[in-house]
Amino acid sequence: MKAMSSQNKNPMLNLILFGPPGAGKGTQSAKLIEKYNLLHISTGDLFRKHLSEGTELGLLARKYMDEGHLVPDEVVIGMVDDKINENGSVKGIIFDGFPRTVAQAEALDALLTKKGNPVSAMISLEVPHNELRERIKERGKTSGRVDDQNDEKINTRIQVYEKETFPVAEHYAAQGKLHKVNGVGTIDGIFDNISTIINSL
Ligand code: AMP
C-alpha cells in the first residue's frame, strides 16, 4: 500500500482551463499540453468522440449538446473518472470544459484529493460576450458543430454558462486557486500570460 500519497514530492500539475464557450480553451489547451506534457481531458471532445462512434453515451449526450444544455452531472463525472483511471501515471492533467457545475467541481476535488494530487490552479479566460458570439459563429463555419451554428443555441450556451458554470470560478476562488487571464489578444500573447501563471505555481 502506498503511504502518505498526499505528501507526494512531485505533485501533478492539475489545471482547470475555465471560461465561457468560445473563450479559447481548446486552442490554449493544445499549446499547454505540448509545453507541459500534460494529459488533456476535454469533456466536449470526449462526448463528440462517443457521438461519432455511435456509443450509448454519445447518443445520450447528443440530445443535451445539440440544444446547448448540460449533460447530467453523474454522466460527465463517470466519464472523467474513467478517463483519469485509463491513463495511469501522468505529469498532470488539463481539464477543458470541466467542471461546469459546482457539483462537478466537488466531485473532481474529491476524486483528485483521494489520489493525493488536488487541483493546482484554475485559469479563467475572460472574454466579453459579444466577442464570444462572433467567435462561435466563425468557428461554426468549419467545426460542423450544430451547437455553433444557430443564434438561439449559442445564446442558450452562454446563459447556461452564466447560471450553472460561472459559480465554479467562485468555488476555486474560495480555495485561492483562481487566476484570471485576458482572453482577448493574440493566441501567443495569451499563452505567454498563462505560462507565467503556471510557472509561478
Ligand atoms: P464544449 O465542446 O466544451 O463546448 O461542450 C459541448 C457540449 O458538450 C456542451 O454544450 C454540453 O452539452 C456538453 N458538455 C461538455 N462538457 C460538459 C460538462 N462538463 N458538463 C455538462 N455538459 C458538458
Percent of the chain with pLDDT over 70: 95
> Are the CB atoms for 82 and 98 separated by under 8 Å?
no
Indicate if ligand 1 lies below 6 Å from the C-beta of 50: no
On whether the pTM is more than 0.95, the answer is no
Cell of 162: 452564466
CA 109 to centroid of ligand 1, rounded, Å: 19
List the catalytic residue out of 48, 100, 135, 153: 100
100 part of the active site: yes
Q: Quick one: pLDDT at residue 3?
A: 43
Indicate if ligand 1 lies below 6 Å from the C-beta of 17: no
Q: Quick one: pLDDT at residue 91?
A: 94
Please state, in angstroms and rounded to a whole number, the distance separating the CA atoms of residues 62 and 57. 9
Please state, in angstroms and rounded to a whole number, the distance separating the CA atoms of residues 140 and 147. 8
Partners of 17 in beta bridges:
96, 123
Amino acid at 130: N
- The H or E element containing residue 98 is none
Q: Quick one: pLDDT at residue 25?
A: 97
133 part of the active site: no
The string of pLDDT tens digits covering residues 12-24 is 999 999 999 999 9
* Over residues 106-118, mean pLDDT: 95
The string of pLDDT tens digits covering residues 152-162 is 999 999 999 99
Does the pLDDT value for residue 4 go beyond 70? no
Spatial CB neighbours of 62, under 8 Å, sequence gap ≥ 6: 51
- From start to end of 26-174, where are the E strands? 39-42, 92-96, 121-126
CA 178 to centroid of ligand 1, rounded, Å: 21
8 pLDDT tier (thresholds 50, 70, 90) = low
State the CB neighbour count (10 A cutoff) for residue 184: 14
Q: Of 164, 142, 156, 94, nearest to 122 (Cα)?
A: 94
